[in-house]
Amino acid sequence: MILLEGCRVVVTMDDAGTELENGSVLIDGGVISWIGQGRPPVREQPDVVDGRGLVAIPGLINTHHHLYQTLTRVHAQQGGLFDWLRELYPIWATIDAEWERTAAEVGLAELALSGCSTTTDHHYVFPSGVIGLLEAEIEVAEQLGLRFHPCRGSMDLGQSNGGLPPDRVVEDIDSILAATDAAIQRFHDPAPGSMRRIAVGPCSPFSVSERLMRESTALARRRKVRLHTHIAETLDEESYCRTTFNRRPLELLEDLGFLGPDVWLAHCVHVNDADIRRLAATATAVAWCPTSNMRLGSGFAPAREMIRQPARRGAPGFAHDQGTQGRGGDDCPPGVASGDPRRRGVPRPGRRRLDRGRQARRYRAFCHRRADASRRGGGSGRGPRLLQSGSGAAPLRRGKTRGP
Ligand SMILES: [Zn+2]
């Protein structure tokens, strides 16, 4: 039993926004069992940690990341998403377990040092014959003590079949499904307070076949694990979906059965009102990744429109990509990324929020102008570096250390 005693303020992040001056937090068996002022209502004498001068907040939750990209930061900084991917796929094709371990050590340590207590990782590069990738990052997370929800990601649509990645970094469907099922059975722990849960994460519409999306969905639901993918990240992707599937990205996911309360989606930048209603009606969650989106100059998710959906009540869920998704490098180092309280400050209602909203609208309009201009110019332009201050909206699932 541990008592974090006499903090300058305890930020509870409850629905009322309660903040306790001179507050204390009691931790019993790895669970916060009491928050209040004065002595906790227990007979046992806890181990005391002096909280004087400190602000206590719930652990931050990072809902989208690619740890392996930690070792390839600042490559292809001139490119939009597709150019960036095309330049990096051949480098990522050389990944091995040592790479993955080193990247996880750096990436997870960065997250822990910035206040993150739970993170996911979306790993989808599994070159033929390379083993131990998922195992390496799971081992590192366990060593560092982070609650970890890695996705067993996948790509099966190589260039020869009309996809974006080179054939040597994609797998065949049967291998993917077998490896994903094996990972779930070996590593997934569904118990309350679990430190490790596996999710199923086919990568994106331009690197995964419809069949793999459907079969991944079926596998995840059969095994009762969550589903994750990238969607509606750029206008290039939207154009790809319209051309290839004759549907918008969210329409495609709906047709594939890839929406629901067990799904969280990265990005959702280019969504219209019907898409947002679709997300709300299916209780699908959204991971907000503004630093990554701004690096690409591709806009960012219409967070307020999503939050205002009357059907929401927790959905579409909305949370941070605290990491930099490998694109950050010099632009947005972890530790001062979007979820960091040192930048965000203690959340307060009123003027500060209004100012942020106005600022976010202005930046959003700017991003969309940039995206439109780059589309007219036939390619994605360099991302606007100045947009980092557009970060900082609070996650909807505030303070809950549960799955992303
Ligand atoms: Zn991503």
Rounded distance from Cα 403 to ligand 1 centre (Å)? 17
Contact 1, 47 (CB under 8 A): yes
- Centre of ligand 1 to C-alpha 325, Å, is 6
**First-to-final CA distance of the chain:** 27
Q: What number does CATH give the domain 2-58+343-392?
A: 2.30.40
The CATH number for 60-331, chosen from 3.20.20.140, 1.10.3720.10, 3.40.50.620, 1.10.8.50, is 3.20.20.140
Distance 166 CA to ligand 1 centre (A): 18
Tokens 């939750």: give the residue: 61
pLDDT tens per residue, the chain (404 residues)?
999 999 999 999 888 999 999 999 999 988 999 999 999 999 999 999 999 999 999 999 999 999 999 999 988 888 889 999 999 999 999 999 999 999 999 999 999 999 999 999 999 999 999 999 999 999 999 999 999 999 999 999 999 999 999 999 999 999 999 999 999 999 999 999 899 999 999 999 999 999 999 999 999 999 999 999 999 999 999 999 999 999 999 999 999 999 999 999 999 999 999 999 999 999 999 998 888 899 899 998 998 888 887 544 333 334 434 333 434 322 232 322 233 222 232 223 223 333 444 544 554 554 455 445 544 543 333 221 111 222 222 222 333 333 33
Does an H or E element contain 9, and which? Answer: strand 2-11
Query: Which CA distances in Å does 146 have to 52, 110, 222, 401?
Result: 25, 11, 27, 11
Residue 111 Cα to ligand 1 midpoint, Å, equals 16
- Structural tokens at position 302: 């219409």
C-alpha of residue 139 to centroid of ligand 1, in Å = 22
Tell me phi and psi for residue 387, to 5 degrees: -85, 10
SS3 130: coil
Separation of alpha carbons 288 and 42, rounded Å: 40
Report the separation in Å between the CA atom of 66 and the middle of ligand 1, taken as the mean of its atom positions.
Answer: 6
The number of CA neighbours under 13 Å toward the Cβ of 20 is 20
**Distance in Å, CA 292 to ligand 1 centroid:** 8
- Helix 133-144 and helix 173-187, axial crossing angle in degrees, nearest 10: 30
State how far the Cα of 252 lies from the Cα of 256, in Å rounded to an integer: 6
Break the chain into its structural domains and give their ranges.
2-58+343-392, 60-331
Q: Closest by alpha carbon to 241, among 278, 196, 210, 279?
A: 210
Distance 136 CA to ligand 1 centre (A): 19
Output the CA 7–ligand 1 centroid distance in Å. 36
Distance 123 CA to ligand 1 centre (A): 9
Nearest-CA neighbor of 72 among 97, 106, 43, 46? Answer: 106
Beta strands in 187-275 (DSSP E): 199-202, 226-231, 263-267
Q: How far is the CA of 400 from the centre of ligand 1 (A)?
A: 23
Give the 3-state secondary structure percentages of the chain, helix then strand then coil, rounded to 5.
40, 20, 45
Question: Can 2-58+343-392 and 60-331 be said to share one CATH topology?
Answer: no
The amino acid at 374:
S
Distance (Å) from CA 233 to ligand 1 centroid: 9
**Tokens linked to 322:** 């605290």
pTM above 0.75, yes or no: yes
Helix (H, G, I), strand (E, B) or coil at 146: coil
CA of 106 to the centre of ligand 1 (A): 18
Distance 64 CA to ligand 1 centre (A): 6
> How many whole angstroms from 290 Cα to the centroid of ligand 1?
12
